[in-house]
Amino acid sequence: MTPIISLSDRLALYDLDGRGDEIRTLRPLIHDLLPRAVDKFFELHAPVPGLAGIVQKHSSDLFDIAQVHIKLLFEGSFDDSYFQSASRLAKAHEQAGTSLRSHMFFCHIISWLLCDSIANARPWQKRRAVEQYRLVTRCLAFDTATMSSLEAADLMKLASARRDAIEKAIGQIGSSIDHVLKSLGEAANTFKSTSSDLNGVIEATQHRGTHAVRAALSSSESVAQTATELTSLMSASHQISHRAEDSRQRLTAALGALNKSETTIADLSGTAEKIGALVEMVNGIASQTNLLALNATIEAARAGRAGGGFVVVAAEVKKLAAETERATEQISHWVSVTQDQTRQAAEALAHAAGQMATIVPATQAISEAVTQQEQATQTILQHVDFSQTQSEQSVADINGLEDAINALSQCANSLIAASGQLSSKAADLSGRVSSFFDEVRSA
């Protein structure tokens, strides 16, 4: 650190130039006063809580440096060692958190105590005492002025450094603000372009939304028509299922009747066989009757006139046997025909029963298939009802989307207006920032 004015000018200003020997004569008085001055300094600063605590905390370093500096001052050399001591003392005050006023007050205490000491030491040499006191006060004033100039030089350097830092910061901020303003301008232009594109998209979306509404309405009507047709189909399937079940029940009953008829025909065939056996037995009886008639005729012939009645009876018996034989032949013929027809009927009934036995499962399968179709139709109808609900909801959503598109269109128009205002505000902000920087630089 260097003083603001030259050393010779300051020495001349305080009338200290060439008075080194005279100043050194004051050293014994000053050396004896310094411990008392330190004690007096603490005594006077005790009522001040903040300052007393700071000074007390740093007294071991601060006042050691201060006493060494005052002793060096009254060496009267005013060389580099003195200025280095002054710099060291100024730095100690800065680290302690005190100011130059504390050093000035300390010097004032020294001059005050020295005034009493000189007056008491030379009561008969008042003029000499006054000259010594003036010289001490001039030295202390020179020291405080030197400390002030050093502090001022530091402050000027600090201010210059701060000004350079401010200039640099202003330049950086200005560059950043210019970049921001440029970005704002580009953003405003982008907003305008985007808003225009957005309006185009909105118009296209509105057009497509109108077609979507029409398509959704048409789809909803088609779904409703499909639901109606499926309801009719389900009703028809229910009727078919009911009729198929009724047919199955009737075929089952007919199959039971055929089984019973087959049993009856089988019984009838057995009866016909029994009748054939009886016819054979009647034929045997007729043969025996013929034989008896023959024997009776023979016996009547042997008897002569006495056996004439037997001949008539034998003739009638033979005639009856012949008629019986003819009747049994016819019965046997018709029994045989009846057996053949019964066997054919039994075979036809068995075939019909077999066919009906295959028809019943088919009818059951048809009934089950119709039932499954009815269930599937019911499921499809439920899905169609759900689809119809969704279609109606889609129509409502598309209508809501149209409202949202209208609101979005208004927002796009507002965005265009806002982008214009943004460009205007960016230009105004640029002017204000430039004026602010000019004012800061000129301050």
**Cβ 116 vs Cβ 173: under 8 Å:** no
| pLDDT top residue among 121 and 72 | 72
68, pLDDT greater than 80: yes
For the segment 116-170, what is each residue's pLDDT rounded down to a tens digit? 777 666 556 677 778 888 898 999 999 998 888 887 777 778 777 777 777 787 7
- pLDDT score of 125: 67
Report the pLDDT value the prediction gives residue 378, as an integer from 0 to 100.
Answer: 76
Q: For the domain covering 7-180, report its CATH number.
A: 1.10.490.10
CB atoms within 10 A of CB 426: 18
Mean pLDDT on 273-281: 75
Domain ranges, ordered by start, for the chain:
7-180, 200-442
Mean pLDDT of the chain: 75
Q: Quick one: DSSP state of residue 305? A: G
- Of the pLDDT bands very low, low, confident and very high (cuts 50, 70, 90), residue 391 is low
Does 3 score more than 60 pLDDT?
no
Whole-number CA gyration radius for the chain: 73
Q: What is the pLDDT of residue 1?
A: 46
Residue 30 CA to residue 132 CA, distance in Å, equals 12
Indicate if the pLDDT at residue 309 is higher than 70: yes
Choice between 49 and 260, residue whose per-residue pLDDT is larger: 260
The larger pLDDT score, comparing residue 216 to residue 369, is at 369
Highest mean pLDDT (candidates 49-63, 64-78, 83-97, 403-417):
64-78
Which pLDDT score, from 0 to 100, does residue 222 have?
Answer: 66
Q: Is 40 exposed, middle or buried (0-12, 13-18, 19+ CB in 10 A)?
A: middle
- The DSSP line for 253-272 is HHHHHHHHHHHHHHHHHHHH
d(CA 43, CA 40): 5
Q: What percent of the chain has pLDDT over 90?
A: 5
CATH of domain 200-442: 1.10.287.950
Amino acid at residue number 23: I
**Unique residue bearing structure tokens 């047919």:** 247
pTM of the model: 0.39
Q: Which residues contact 216 (CB under 8 A, 6 or more apart)?
A: 391, 394, 395, 398
